[in-house]
Chain A
């Protein structure tokens, strides 16, 4: 059974169609990358699939649940890291993760916090107020919060955007390890190299439409870049050097 399945998923905001008839299937164990330029509909897709917004039309199944009729069941089953989401400013990372543990009814929360603080290297600030942390440190805390309950499916919007190069490599390793254990990861990014390096499957979106799907393991990063540029018209592709 696919971890994610959508049929003609559409979302309009007034006159603007942010997502136009998205139909895709993500198998369990996949590291699926939704690749597209800014404003192409990636964040809207994640919001629809995680029950944060309702679609204008179409349907979806996420971890066996309907995000429209069972949003809480979806959120209980998955982990989410939205773009630009910070831990509460006036709690410490330890306190916030403890809160997440209570909400998700995790028994061994203290051990898990220690594990994630060590893995993502925020142990030095685990008892400092979040308002004083750097953007990268806050992002690492939110990454830990998304994975804390060991879900089988995690959604991440732009996973590496605030991280330094060393931490980017560590996070990539964490994500790859997570999928190697049979879990599913759905990430959105506008960086071709991230999709090329991490993903087992890539869907390319442009103007709210899924314009192509490919397996990045069957092509080089340059080939994926050329493919991406060809699909999105070559005007807004972003390539990091």
Chain B
């Protein structure tokens, strides 16, 4: 029966994407992924980056992607409905059919891994592989990377499931786990990377395979055992958050904040999404230092990546709004986006400041202060680009080739110079830091301009189509 369920779920996923985004745009998506990855690999090789470092970065990115997919897909029915609109999926058949929730969830997870392997992961490895093989890297290393990348996606999605499952049972247990992992890393010098699929790529032995793959099975088992699609709407934590937002006078700011607070995962999902990026950034900073001896500027790097990661907050803030909802109200879309921006800044900046404070445990506070200056500009830019390009439906980026390329290009235009500034800080510290702060301020101004023009643009578009 599981085989039939899997086949129907794959068919459903294909239909969903091709229906929402159109055959041509959706069909071109793997090609775009391959081209972008190939271009990125080539550019990095031109700058002297070792192929193994590029492969490591790709594994980390895919792991992050798996976490995000897992977070969105597994936090509950309302979250899926908010992401995809008013849709019903086979994964929710447990109410009416003799199928256990665990069987449905396990099949759903397996389907996601296979589906994204076909449409995203394999094209990405092909893009990398073309450049790598042209640079005389053995094809076996590309095949190994493919295995590691698929495993990294499964690792991310399973970790999401396990963390959400644990949090649904006991927030205290989740906190305890975080403390235990942090303690193991700091006090016992345990290298967490050695227990991820990267270990399989770095050490393709039986030991590397066990260390690289076993945690994924463990996370999946824990997640499937613990995850319950329950609504924790009555929790005191959520009520306290709601009270905080209920007092906000502006209804267009209050509405998205309350929607986020009252939906599955409450404001915790914002912290989780940005926390994943924070952890990846911290790991990458350590890896870059270990591999190259360069110490990137932690403030610029955290400020940039947390600001970019605020895109997930944009998604949470807007996902409860239909594109056309506000056409029914006597309110302009410029005011809607302005209210959304305020809600977005409340959530994303407070979260980013929190993570920068956590980062002071490892990095000098004097450097992280720069992050406080960089993150607002980057975050406002991300909001402006998202609002202008996608309106109130940021999830259309998922598989819309044109929007994806536009959005990716706009973000890269800011991210690349900022990250270069973070890397060259030892050569020209004042210019690098000053340039990063100035650039983020300029980006913030551009973001505000885009935000102001997003309202009229979308209002006109929605009224004429």
On whether the beta carbons of A91 and B234 are closer than 8 Å, the reply is no
Q: Which of B4, B88, B94, B234 contacts A88 (CB 8 A)?
A: B88
On whether the beta carbons of A90 and B15 are closer than 8 Å, the reply is yes
Q: Is B95 an interface residue (CB 8 A)?
A: yes
On whether the beta carbons of B15 and A91 are closer than 8 Å, the reply is yes
Chain A residues near B16 (CB-CB < 8 A):
89-90
Distance in angstroms from B22 CB to nearest chain A CB is 14
Q: Is A99 an interface residue (CB 8 A)?
A: yes
Q: Which of A72, A90, A100 contacts B12 (CB 8 A)?
A: A90
Residue-wise interface mask of B (1-32) relative to A, using a CB-CB cutoff of 8 A (1 in contact, 0 not): 10011001001100110010000000000000
Q: A89-B16, A91-B90, A142-B96 are in contact. List 11 more A-B contacts (CB 8 A).
A: A75-B97, A85-B95, A85-B96, A88-B93, A91-B15, A99-B8, A102-B1, A103-B1, A103-B93, A104-B98, A129-B15
Q: Which of A82, A89, A91 contacts B8 (CB 8 A)?
A: A91
Q: Which of B15, B88, B98 contacts A86 (CB 8 A)?
A: B88
From 284 to 315 in chain B, residues with beta carbon under 8 angstroms from any chain A beta carbon are none
From 142 to 184 in chain A, residues with beta carbon under 8 angstroms from any chain B beta carbon are 142, 145-146
Q: Is A192 an interface residue (CB 8 A)?
A: no
Asked if A90 meets B87 with Cβ closer than 8 Å, knowing A103-B98, A103-B99, A146-B96, the reply is yes
Q: Is B144 an interface residue (CB 8 A)?
A: no
Q: Is A87 an interface residue (CB 8 A)?
A: yes
Tell me the count of chain A residues lying within 8 A, CB to CB, of chain B.
Answer: 29
Q: List 24 A-B contacts (CB under 8 A).
A: A14-B234, A52-B94, A52-B95, A72-B100, A75-B96, A75-B97, A85-B96, A88-B89, A89-B87, A89-B88, A90-B16, A95-B8, A95-B11, A99-B8, A102-B1, A102-B4, A103-B1, A103-B5, A103-B93, A103-B98, A103-B99, A129-B15, A131-B87, A145-B96
Asked if A103 meets B97 with Cβ closer than 8 Å, knowing A88-B88, A89-B88, A90-B16, the reply is yes
User: 9 closest A-B pairs (Cβ-Cβ)?
Assistant: A90-B15, A75-B98, A89-B87, A14-B234, A76-B98, A86-B88, A90-B16, A102-B4, A80-B96
Q: Is A26 an interface residue (CB 8 A)?
A: no
Distance in angstroms from A52 CB to nearest chain B CB is 6
Chain B residues near A146 (CB-CB < 8 A):
96
Distance in angstroms from B390 CB to nearest chain A CB is 21
Q: Which of B15, B87, B90, B94 contacts A99 (CB 8 A)?
A: B90
CA distance A50 to B94 in the complex (A): 11
On whether the beta carbons of B19 and A129 are closer than 8 Å, the reply is yes
From 121 to 139 in chain B, residues with beta carbon under 8 angstroms from any chain A beta carbon are none
From 36 to 82 in chain A, residues with beta carbon under 8 angstroms from any chain B beta carbon are 50, 52, 72, 75-76, 80-82
On whether the beta carbons of B12 and A82 are closer than 8 Å, the reply is no
On whether the beta carbons of A88 and B12 are closer than 8 Å, the reply is yes
- Most chain A beta-carbon contacts within 10 A, residue among B1, B12, B16, B96: B96
Q: Which residue of B lies closest to A82 (CB)?
A: B95
Q: Which residue of B lies closest to A79 (CB)?
A: B96
On whether the beta carbons of B4 and A131 are closer than 8 Å, the reply is no
Residue-wise interface mask of A (126-142) relative to B, using a CB-CB cutoff of 8 A (1 in contact, 0 not): 00011100000000001
Chain A residues near B100 (CB-CB < 8 A):
72
Distance in angstroms from B24 CB to nearest chain A CB is 18
On whether the beta carbons of B4 and A72 are closer than 8 Å, the reply is no
From 85 to 136 in chain A, residues with beta carbon under 8 angstroms from any chain B beta carbon are 85-91, 95, 99-100, 102-104, 129-131
Chain A residues near B19 (CB-CB < 8 A):
90, 129, 131
Chain B residues near A91 (CB-CB < 8 A):
8, 11-12, 15, 90
Chain B residues near A145 (CB-CB < 8 A):
96
Distance in angstroms from B347 CB to nearest chain A CB is 26
CA distance A130 to B89 in the complex (A): 11
Distance in angstroms from B81 CB to nearest chain A CB is 10
- Most chain B beta-carbon contacts within 10 A, residue among A81, A82, A91: A91
Chain B residues near A14 (CB-CB < 8 A):
234
CA distance A88 to B77 in the complex (A): 13
Q: Which residue of A lies closest to B18 (CB)?
A: A90
Chain A residues near B89 (CB-CB < 8 A):
88-90
Q: Which residue of A lies closest to B99 (CB)?
A: A103
